[in-house]
Amino acid sequence: MIKPTKNVAMVQIGLSLPALEKTFTTVDLMAYGAATWDWHRLHYDGDFARSMNLPNVVVDGQAFGHLFARAAIDWAGPQAFIERLSFKMKSMAFAGETLRVESEVTQIRNHTVVVRQRLTSRGRLVSEAETEVRLPM
């Protein structure tokens, strides 16, 4: 069953969205690289990554945007629309790490909800975002 989409009457500033966690495997990152045409070896070749003194293959920064958008839409529902998503990368993330998105509503403008988001791994800040989600009337 598809859950209903939220509307602004159901939202208030300060509301925390459900956290989202994702652990990317090397296979996930290979598939992601194929989908985005990003064939840099850092994203799929563990031996190469270790030769660069990294602990494992690197999660592509574009995947952070995917996690922010997914957390927002999973919460808002299928008829919500991401109007804008802006994020800054703060540190690297690697295959095998569990990434956690935490989100909070910071503004409500007409039918648009502004959500501040943080992506962490083991308490370390990986990325921050601001996502604007349009909710139906």
Nearest to 38 by CA among 61, 70, 66: 61
Within-domain flag for 1: no
Residue 95 lies in a domain: yes
Whether 121 is in a domain gets the answer yes
Predicted local confidence at residue 24, as pLDDT: 96
Retrieve residue 25's tokens: 């495997």
pLDDT of 55 reads 96
CATH assignment of the domain containing 130:
3.10.129.10
Looking at residue 35, its pLDDT comes to 85
- Indicate the residue type of 38: D
Residues 39 and 24 sit within 8 Å (Cβ to Cβ): no
Q: Where are the alpha helices (DSSP H) in the chain?
A: 26-36, 46-51, 62-76
Low-confidence ranges of the chain (pLDDT < 50): none
Which SS3 state, helix, strand or coil, does residue 9 take?
Answer: helix
Q: Which residue segment(s) compose the domain that 90 sits in?
A: 8-134
Residue 110 lies in a domain: yes
The count of structural domains within the chain is 1
Decide if 2 is inside a domain.
no
For residue 28, being part of any structural domain is answered with: yes
Q: Dig out the tokens for 15 from the structure.
A: 């509301």
Residue 57 lies in a domain: yes
129: buried, middle or exposed (CB in 10 Å: 19+, 13-18, 0-12)?
buried
Residue 111 maps to a domain: yes
Query: What pLDDT, on the 0 to 100 scale, is given for residue 128?
Result: 99
> What pLDDT, in 10s, does the model give residues 21-53?
999 999 999 888 888 888 888 888 999 999 999
Specify the pLDDT at position 32: 84
Check residue 108 and give its pLDDT. 97
Measured distance CA(119)–CA(66) in Å, rounded: 11
Residue 59 has a pLDDT of 96
Q: What is the pLDDT of residue 44?
A: 85
Query: How many CA atoms are closer than 13 Å to the CA of 128, on its beta-carbon side?
Result: 4
